[in-house]
Amino acid sequence: MAVLRPRNRLVYFRVSEDEFQQFHQVCEAARARSVSDLARYAVQRMINDRNGSPNPEDMMEKLKAVEAGICDLSMKLQELTVLVKGARVNGAASVEASTEFGDNEVGCRDSRID
């Protein structure tokens, strides 16, 4: 089988004996063919993580959206609980159950990320 992208560049760096032993152990655990393959994989992963990682503002917006979704689900779950309790006693307790839950019970209003 022909190599599609031959590796003809060398990168050298020095490591201590302890570091080399650690690299070799990680290499065996990761089932890499060599320390060279392990190093190549690690550097490629760092490059991919840096290129594919969103900026902090994007992450904050996504986190806010997830939190809002969780808050909405919690409120709907509370509404369903009220409906189930009301159905059990033919509606007599539905008014009492609806006052049982407040906004702070879910934590949606007070703990939002700003």
Residues 13-40: tens digit of each pLDDT: 899 999 999 998 998 898 888 988 889 8
Structure tokens at 8: 């003809």
Residue 88 CA, distance from chain mean position: 40
Q: What is the reported pLDDT for 31?
A: 86
Q: What is the reported pLDDT for 77?
A: 94
Query: What is the CB neighbour count within 10 angstroms for residue 94?
Result: 16
Q: What is the reported pLDDT for 58?
A: 74
Ranges of the chain whose pLDDT falls below 50: 93-95, 97-99, 102-104, 106
Instruction: Output helix, strand, coil percentages for the chain, rounded to the nearest 5.
Output: 65, 0, 35
SS (H, E, C) 20-52: HHHHHHHHHHHCCCCHHHHHHHHHHHHHHHHHH
